[in-house]
Each structure stands twice: as structure tokens, then as C-alpha cells.
Amino acid sequence: MRFVRKGLKAGLVSWLLFLIVWQLVAMNSNPDYFPTPIQTLKGAVELLTDNSLISYVLISFKRVVLGWLLGSLLGIPAGLLIGRFKWLRELVEPYLNFFRFIPALAFITLFILWFGIGEPSKVILIMYATLFIVILNTAAGVVNVEDDKIRSARSLGASERQILIHVIIPAVVPAFFNGVRLAMGNSFMAIVGAEMIAANEGVGYLIWTSRLYSKTDWIFVGLLLLGLMGFAGDQLLRWMGKTTLGRYGIAKETRFGK
């Protein structure tokens, strides 16, 4: 009983159940449409042996990380400024509220036109997908810094510059961290779309081209890879957050904010 409960907590039970259901469904359908877990694993081995699997994963990952980093680096200072200055907030709010409804993917054709078919257009796409989330979260974080904190600092003798560096930025860390985490998720969505439309490599490309060869098992491999990459990226980010930014209140709040 205790073993089961531990497994449930670690997510093992969920995945075991997932595999069982998958197997049952697959056994009752055409393998061309719905491969079994074993067939999928075989597909993965095929892709591993010709080295495409690893290189696709690395390429997609590189695009995501690069674009996401650039977007975050740009979004944090922008968010800080927008949160800090009311006039700036009023100036850019209409843009933010307009552009955030245009999905990153909708820009892919334009970006290819502007930045070429190569890597830049994809990285810029991810940057775009990241930017707004990071700006909005950071700016909201700045606006929500309690007045009492700023007043405390002021009456303890802090200058306006010191308040920004020693009060507002540290207080915004959890909000900004939430932003970059959400943005990471968005980046994966955007990169798959971009790779399906315009790429010769990457996980999105794998999923898209596998249909040409009726390799449903490869599609499954691609989907599982995306889940794994996202999960690994998020875990890595959270671990880094916990170890380096723990004191700012990025705690172990994991599932559904528990």
C-alpha cells in the first residue's frame, strides 16, 4: 500500500496506467494509425541509430533556448520599466493588449520573408513568443510590489535607485520567474509550428515529415520527445530557480501551486 502511494506521488502510477491504456487501445486498432508502446520504442531506436533523433532534439532545444533567453533578457528590463513608469505603461498597454492575441506562429511567413529561411527567423519567432509573457508578468510584478515595502525602504534612507535595485527587483523575482517558465511552454508550441512549416531538421520537422512515410510510430516518438523536452526544461529551470533564487520565494510549489 505504502509502495503504491509513493509511486502515485512520484507519478509512476500515472505513467504505468498510461502505458496500459495505450497498449490496450493500440492492440485494438490498426498499427498504421496507432502503434503500440513497443512499436513506438522500436521507431525510436530506428531514429537513434541513424543519429537523427539526438540531433533533432538538440536543434529544437537550441532554437528554443536561444530565442527564449533573448526574449527574457529583453523582456525583463522592458517589464521593469513598464511596471515602474505609469506613463510608459499607459503608452504601451494598447500594443501589449493587441499583439499578445496574435499567436507567434502567425508571424512565421513574415519572419521568413524578413529574416530568411535559416535559424534567425526561428529564433526571432521564439523571442516574440517569449517577450510578451515575460514583459506582462514582470510589469505586473512591479505594479504589485506592496507600497509598504517601498515606504519602508524610503524611510530607512534608501534612494530611488536603491529602491529599484534592493526592493523592486528582488520583490519581482517570483513574478518574473513565473513569466519565463510560462514562456518556456509557449516557446515549445511556437518552435514545433515553425519547424513543421519551414525547416529541414528538428522535432517539429520529424513529426511533419513522418506522415509522408506513414511512420505513425515516429510521430508518436516526436510527440513523446516534445513532452519530455518540455518537462526536462521546466524541471531544470525550477531546479535552478530553487537553488539560486530560493530566498526570493521560489519554493517547491509544484503541482497546481501546492
Partner 1 sequence: MSRYPLISTDAITDASTEENASQSIISIKQLGKSFVSGSGKGAVRYQVLKDVDLNIKRGEFFILLGPSGCGKSTLLNLIAGFEKQTEGELLVDGKPIDRPGKERAMVFQHPDASLFPWLNVRENIEFGLRMQGVSRGERKAVSDRYIELAGLTGHERKFPRELSGGMKQRVQIARVLANDPELLLMDEPLGALDAFTRRVMQDELVRIWTETKKTVIFVTHDIQEAVLLGGRIGIMSIGPDSRVFEIIDNRLEYPRDLTSREFNLMQKKLQSIFQDDLYFHL
| Interacting residue ranges for partner 1, rule: CB under 8 A | 146-149, 151-159, 162, 166-167, 170-171, 173, 247-249
> Around Cβ 104, how many Cβ atoms within 10 Å?
24
- Which of 51, 155 has the CB closer to partner 1? 155
Query: Cβ 158 to partner 1, closest distance in Å?
Result: 4
Exposure of 221 by Cβ count < 10 A (0-12 exposed, 13-18 middle, 19+ buried)? buried
- Which of 161, 255 has the CB closer to partner 1? 161
Query: Cβ 176 to partner 1, closest distance in Å?
Result: 13
Query: Cβ 226 to partner 1, closest distance in Å?
Result: 35
Cα 232 to Cα 7, 44, 152, 220, 249: the distances in Å are 19, 18, 40, 18, 22
> Around Cβ 39, how many Cβ atoms within 10 Å?
15
Query: Cβ 83 to partner 1, closest distance in Å?
Result: 18
227 alpha-carbon distance from chain centroid:
11
- Which of 75, 174 has the CB closer to partner 1? 174
- Which of 23, 159 has the CB closer to partner 1? 159
67 Cβ contact list (under 8 Å, min separation 6): 122, 123, 124, 125, 126, 127, 129, 130, 187, 191
| Cα distance between residue 105 and residue 110, in whole Å | 10
- Which of 47, 171 has the CB closer to partner 1? 171
Query: Cβ 161 to partner 1, closest distance in Å?
Result: 10
Nearest CA among 199, 204, 170, 165 for reference residue 188: 204
Query: Cβ 151 to partner 1, closest distance in Å?
Result: 5
- Which of 2, 247 has the CB closer to partner 1? 247
CB 239 within 8 A of CB 245: no
